[in-house]
Chains A and B, each alone.
Chain A
């Protein structure tokens, strides 16, 4: 019972500390709005993934009932896979990037102590170069239209902010090839110089979700069709 009461105190203290970190009341409000909006987006995203997998199943089912050739059904499935629109699994690598814990206060070049969008971009690039079939950042699958950018200090994948640490999963990436890559070697220096987190772990089984970002292609269409 005392433990529960102290629980309550820990939670309350934590909440007020977090609120105190924001510089102005307006900013604290914005931060809360971002967090609740993020939670809303996560829920909607889960719904989209469910519906997409139901649709894929229904399409395959219909292909069977309409007796489309096994070839056509297979080609549709391959197209879905090639567009990163299906969940995949397999062995690979997980690269975890994190900001430094020892940031010198009040210096202008504190940016070297944080992970930037370009760091993540280059890690993703090098994982594909190392033979990755599929890559995801914090669970978000990288597709043909996925952008990794930043707004201020926050890294944003497509329109969604990322919560650090940044976990990049890659199925099929060769660990040795990746460790020899340019970005990997740069990080090896940066971990000692700035205390950035860079961890490369082999995984025997990774599960990557389908690319769930709603994309309405309004300009591009297949040529000659």
Chain B
């Protein structure tokens, strides 16, 4: 076992946050939320386009699992920044499904298509009836969990 060296580091950030002035955490969060809201419309449009690309992949069935994973992961990334929780959960399930299919060396389009259709539904119904949307996501996880990690 090699000897580990421990270094005490003093971050400039530590001094900066404590400087007089600035704003309260509550105000900073509110401001950030407002700034972010200005980008939400474009983001939702892009998410729709990305789901569209996944739909084409499911129709043509020629894309590789890596391509499906990449697209789904990008949706998760964008939706995640805008706190689109259910869409994120659906895409997380799709990423996990594809990752498990990669591990098992099998590509099964039916379960991928169910995920993509659900993602379209969740995107269309963003913010409506959270209980029903959650049950859709639970269903997706039931499909993903049929394949062992």
Q: Do A and B come from one complex?
A: no
